[in-house]
Amino acid sequence: MATVIQGHAGIGPAVSGEVLAAADNFSARYDLDRINGVFSRPAHKLCGESYVGKVLVLNAAKGGVATAWMLREMTSRDMAPLALLLNYANPIIAQGAAFAEFPLIDRFETDITAAISTGDQVRVDPAAGTVAINGEAS
């Protein structure tokens, strides 16, 4: 049976893919080496990990206004995550997702960083605000 986790209605198209998750926060400018597609901030739990093509699952969007341009810049180079699931988005990440037509959902019924794990296969449906684990639709 698929597990479906409900969040707030999100932004962007529906996608399916593999999860990269951590109980840490997210800023495109502060945390990432966007040229090589890896987390680069030494203190970050995912430092050294590649996020390209992954459903990225983190806690809160942090700092930096630059992320709003950066999502589209990353998608244009095919060096972007597949989708972003957060406990708390901030306006910047929502604006960036709208500008880039990038899948984003936040405010889940549970801590999303604990509910799904690195390696899980999920289906992300921003219009419905849902994440289904193991790729099955709700």
Q: Binding residues for other proteins, per CB under 8 A?
A: 8-11, 29-33, 40-43, 60-70, 72-73, 76-77, 87-92, 94-96, 98-99
CB 124 within 8 A of CB 103: yes
CB 85 within 8 A of CB 118: no
How many Cβ atoms from other residues are within 10 Å of residue 34's Cβ? 17
HSE (side-chain half, CA atoms, 13 Å) at 117: 1
Residue 24 CB, nearest distance to other proteins (Å)? Answer: 13
Rank residues 10 and 17 by Cβ distance to other proteins and give the closer one.
10
Rank residues 120 and 124 by Cβ distance to other proteins and give the closer one.
124
Q: What is the largest CA-CA distance in the chain?
A: 40
Task: For residue 36, give Cα distances in angstroms to 1, 6, 9, 22, 74.
Answer: 37, 33, 31, 20, 11
Which amino acid is present at 98?
Answer: A
Residue 7 CB, nearest distance to other proteins (Å)? Answer: 11
Rank residues 87 and 113 by Cβ distance to other proteins and give the closer one.
87
Residue 14 CB, nearest distance to other proteins (Å)? Answer: 15
CB 32 within 8 A of CB 67: no
Residue 61 CB, nearest distance to other proteins (Å)? Answer: 6
Rank residues 53 and 64 by Cβ distance to other proteins and give the closer one.
64
Rank residues 120 and 125 by Cβ distance to other proteins and give the closer one.
125
Residue 33 CB, nearest distance to other proteins (Å)? Answer: 8
